[in-house]
Amino acid sequence: MKGEIIVETEDLTKKYGQRTAVDHLNIKIEEGEVFGFLGPNGAGKTTTLLMFLGLTEPTSGRAKVIGFDPTREPFKVKEKVGYLPENVGFYDDMDARQNLRYIAKLNRISGEVSEKRIDYWLEMVGLSDESTKKVGTFSKGMRQRLGIAEVLIKEPKLVFLDEPTIGLDPDGTNRMLDLIHSLSREKNITLFLSSHLLDQVQRICDRVGIMINGNLVAIGPIEELAKKKLGLDQQDYTLEEIYMKYFKEA
């Protein structure tokens, strides 16, 4: 299934006044892969995601997501691309099911189909028993899992996850990572994961890109980057070592 390019950018640049948030980004993501987008806070990761969704306009350069230009045809992109923002919010006075139903409606999913999908995804993220509880009472981990279900309701081809495990306890983090992993393997959904939690990224990502101060300083499979940066002979590398090396150079 791999091979088809699902995200492609060409000198994508975003400036906020004088500051360049994203500087001539060139990136290619293939269908079905799990891509880890790394970088310190404020490196321009979220800005890049927003440009991919057409939520903010690039200053210059182009992007192509699932074959469409998000600036010109944001509608087409948003129909098939899910986005889980960092610290996703819900309507706290509605229950989990109502929240999902609302999002399904906004995606023009008809009643019967949407009920089926809601049941399925609530089961998948382990929230079936809590489906009638008000989301206001949910814990951080439950909210994050509900967020995943909400993104998947529209059966996207590609999902952007912005810091999906931040603020979760170790058990919650593990469950979240397993879920993400299975999505990629079983549903063939391309995942684009922005994070700065390196050990987690190393566990699930096929390829990573490292972004520092708006520049993509490295991109490729983790082993390849390890070879390049740490030397051929080293076997028990961690992503953190690679990352720190790039970070110090930049």
Q: Give the residue among 33, 29, 94, 22 at the shortest CA–CA distance from 60.
A: 22
Q: Is the Cβ–Cβ distance between 205 and 196 less than 8 Å?
A: no
- Residues in contact with 77: Cβ distance below 8 Å, sequence separation at least 6, in sequence order: 52, 53, 54, 65, 66, 68, 70
Should residue 248 be labelled a site residue for another protein when binding is judged by CB under 8 A? no
| Contact track, another protein, 132-171, x by CB under 8 A | ------------------x---x-----------------
Should residue 66 be labelled a site residue for another protein when binding is judged by CB under 8 A? no
- Which of 2, 19, 28, 105 binds another protein (CB under 8 A)? It is 105
Task: In angstroms, give the least distance from the CB of 103 to another protein.
Answer: 7
Task: In angstroms, give the least distance from the CB of 130 to another protein.
Answer: 19
- Count Cα atoms within 13 angstroms, Cβ side, for 198: 14
- Identify residues 182-241 at the interface with another protein (CB under 8 A): none
Should residue 102 be labelled a site residue for another protein when binding is judged by CB under 8 A? yes
Q: Hey, what are 201's tokens?
A: 């990224």
- Which of 25, 29, 50, 180 binds another protein (CB under 8 A)? It is 50
Task: In angstroms, give the least distance from the CB of 105 to another protein.
Answer: 5
d(CA 36, CA 107): 27
Residue with smaller CB distance to another protein, 47 or 202: 47
Number of residues that bind another protein (CB under 8 A): 26
SS3 call for 88:
coil
- Which of 8, 71, 88, 238 binds another protein (CB under 8 A)? It is 88
d(CA 64, CA 117): 28
Residue with smaller CB distance to another protein, 143 or 207: 143
- Residues in contact with 234: Cβ distance below 8 Å, sequence separation at least 6, in sequence order: 226
Q: Give the residue among 20, 26, 53 at the shortest CA–CA distance from 151.
A: 53
* CA distance readout (Å), 96 to 69, 91, 127: 33, 9, 8
Task: In angstroms, give the least distance from the CB of 53 to another protein.
Answer: 6
Should residue 41 be labelled a site residue for another protein when binding is judged by CB under 8 A? no
Should residue 130 be labelled a site residue for another protein when binding is judged by CB under 8 A? no
- Which of 3, 17, 89, 231 binds another protein (CB under 8 A)? It is 89
DSSP alpha helices (H): ranges in 153-197? Answer: 170-187
d(CA 196, CA 41): 8
**Rule CB under 8 A: which residues touch another protein?**
46-47, 50, 53, 55-56, 75, 78-79, 83, 85, 87-93, 102-103, 105-108, 150, 154
